Amino acid sequence: MAKSILICDDAAFMRMMIKDILTKNGYTIAGEAENGVKAVEKYTETKPDLVMMDITMPEMDGIQALKKIKETDPSANIIMCSAMGQQAMVIESIQSGAKDFIVKPFQADRVLEAVKKAVG
């Protein structure tokens, strides 16, 4: 069965880019969220195999959302995505339970490598 993935990013074009890479490679999109609050809600609703989570989002950032999701589901698979030069964020994300970290702008092969590593 295809792995389902929740895409969380405040930029619609980034969600579209990720969705395009994933669907072309046989993954199912469980849903999309434009901020951390929606990400937590959608995660609870859809129980995806994996979450692709941007860090910088309005209302609740990706790290807060990561922590909230991990509180309710410690086995959640979450890959963080963000722009260059956010080393402290990378470290906090991994310490908070993220499986991996992808830097924008995305390279399709790097996205797929991280997804395969996280959910097979």
Predicted pLDDT of residue 85: 64
Query: Which residue segment(s) compose the domain that 69 sits in?
Result: 48-115
1 occurs within a structural domain:
no
Residue 51, classed as helix, strand or coil, is strand
Amino acid identity, position 27: Y
Q: Domains in the chain: how many in total? A: 1
CATH value at residue 105: 3.40.50.2300
Return per-residue pLDDT of the chain as tens, 120 residues: 679 999 999 999 999 999 999 999 999 999 999 999 999 999 999 999 999 999 999 999 999 999 999 999 999 999 999 886 677 888 899 999 999 999 888 889 999 999 999 997
83 occurs within a structural domain:
yes
26 occurs within a structural domain:
no
Buried b (16+ CB within 10 A) or exposed e, 63-86: bbbbbbbeeeeeebbbbbbbeeeb
14 occurs within a structural domain:
no
Tell me the whole-structure pTM to 2 decimals: 0.93
34 occurs within a structural domain:
no
